[in-house]
Amino acid sequence: MLPPVPGLDASAHVLTSTDLIDLDHLPKRLAVLGGGYVGVEFASMYAQFGSAVTVLDAGPRILPREDEDVAAAVTGILRDAGVEFVPGVRVTAVRDIDNGVELSYEADGRTHTLAADELLVATGRVPATEGLRLDRAGVRTTASGSIEVDEYLRTSQPHIYAVGDVNGGPQFTYISLDDSRIVADQLTGGGRRSTLDRKFVPYTVFTSPALSRAGLTEREAVERGLPVKVSRKAVADIAGMPRAKIVGETRGLMKFVVDSVTDEVLGAALLSVDSQELINVVALAMRHGVTASELRDAIYTHPSSTEAFNEVLAAPPARRA
């Protein structure tokens, strides 16, 4: 999805995330438009490759769906890797220059320019349904172009199903896999699987280290009026997690949001080595009602990243920001 910025469509140096994966050269200077998950992942990746990366975002900070302390931790790690951040940006024009591209933008009430070799536009994706003439088949779409489906992924024509990103669900590979299982169950099974079965679906933002999350953020839990207790610790301070020191990756933090009355795990944000694996354990525990105390007191292999749960969940509740 390209925003309506003059010159953006015409530039030979404007890339999508797919284009950037296929790029056969390393840009010395990479500008990233958008501070969401895709923009942050590629900023982290290309900074490690050696590019000078600048992230321009319309919002006041990156990763707006995450808690402020978690987003700040990611920002700090990326800044240490050399990534520059420019918040509150409105891009007004894009034009190609010799060996690159120049962006004009407004920020802090002033007009600025930024030159780069390539520009990654990471401002979201839309379903590629335009031109399919779905109306001829009687298949309804939403205003965004996604195909309307019910909990069994049936379209407005009951014999036609829509799976994957095109149906407007979460844009994850593993959601597409589960979509296929739901449809297979409709066609050859008992017809009981549905999207309503999906609870506490985890996700990972593959920065270095990766940020993985499941359930509610602290902000969401407070807004719902839930009695919240937060257990949080910097990875470097977790004595019972030697694996982080063994592999030389002690950056990040672990944060659990817990119902202070029921001891239910409401959510977790893990910015750490192995977080993409750890979050699956947490999400499974949440789906099956395993309490924070049970996660805290479980026996884990050593040395592993999972044993950090023994210490983090035993930490005194963190003061809410």
Residue 73 has pLDDT above 60, yes or no: yes
Does one domain contain both 207 and 305? yes
Does one domain contain both 65 and 105? yes
Q: Is residue 73 part of a domain?
A: yes
Q: Is residue 169 part of a domain?
A: yes
DSSP state letters, 290-314: --HHHHHH----SS-STTHHHHHTT
Q: What per-residue string of b and e applies to 9-42 under the rule 16 or more CB within 10 Å gives b?
A: eebebbbbbeebeeeeeebebbbbbbbbbbbbbb
Does one domain contain both 112 and 138? no
> Which of residues 121, 142, 158 is at a domain's end?
121
Determine the pLDDT at residue 317.
Answer: 74
Q: Taking the alpha carbons of 60, 66, 70, 71 in that order, is the dihedral positive or negative?
A: negative
Our count of domains for the chain comes to 3
> Residues near 42 by Cβ (< 8 Å), separated by ≥ 6?
17, 20, 30, 32, 120, 122
Residue 260 has pLDDT above 80, yes or no: yes
Residue 186 Cα distances to 156, 179, 235, angstroms: 16, 11, 45
Q: Is residue 317 part of a domain?
A: no
Residue 321 has pLDDT above 50, yes or no: no
User: What is the helix (H) or strand (E) element at residue 221, kind and residue range?
Assistant: helix 218-223
Does one domain contain both 244 and 208? yes
- The mean predicted confidence, pLDDT, of the chain is 95
Q: Is residue 7 part of a domain?
A: no
Does one domain contain both 210 and 276? yes
Determine the pLDDT at residue 40.
Answer: 97
Mean per-residue pLDDT for 238-253? 96
Residue 55 has pLDDT above 50, yes or no: yes
Does one domain contain both 297 and 224? yes
Residue-number span of the structural domain to which 148 is assigned: 134-197
Determine the pLDDT at residue 15.
Answer: 96
Q: What's the CA angle centered on 75, arms 70 and 78, to 5 degrees?
A: 130
Mean per-residue pLDDT for 60-80? 97
Q: Is residue 129 part of a domain?
A: no
Residue 248 has pLDDT above 80, yes or no: yes
Q: List, in sequence order, every residue forming a beta bridge with 113; answer none if it has no partner.
A: 104
| CATH, residue 110 | 3.50.50.60
pLDDT tens string 84-136: 999 999 999 999 999 899 999 999 999 999 999 999 999 999 899 988 999 99
Determine the pLDDT at residue 318.
Answer: 66
Mean per-residue pLDDT for 248-260? 97
Residue 301 has pLDDT above 90, yes or no: yes
Structure token digits, residue 293 = 């105390």
Does one domain contain both 24 and 108? yes
Q: Is residue 265 part of a domain?
A: yes
Distance CA(269)–CA(60), nearest Å, equals 21
| CATH, residue 276 | 3.30.390.30
pLDDT tens string 188-222: 999 999 999 999 999 999 999 999 999 999 999 99
Q: Is residue 239 part of a domain?
A: yes
Q: Is residue 246 part of a domain?
A: yes
Cβ distance 24 to 17 under 8 Å? no
Residue 320 has pLDDT above 60, yes or no: no
Q: Binning pLDDT at 50, 70 and 90, where does residue 237 land?
A: very high
Pairing verdict, β 118-121 and 14-15? parallel
Does one domain contain both 92 and 48? yes
Does one domain contain both 154 and 85? no
Does one domain contain both 207 and 168? no
Q: Taking the alpha carbons of 178, 184, 187, 193 in that order, is the dihedral positive or negative?
A: negative
Q: Write the single-letter amino acid at 112.
A: H
> Which of residues 172, 197, 222 is at a domain's end?
197
Q: Write the single-letter amino acid at 126.
A: V
Active site annotation includes 302: yes
- Note the pTM of the prediction, 2 decimals: 0.93
Residue 284 Cα distances to 38, 170, 312, angstroms: 25, 19, 18
Beta strands in 157-293, from DSSP E residues, in sequence order: 203-205, 211-215, 228-234, 253-259, 265-271
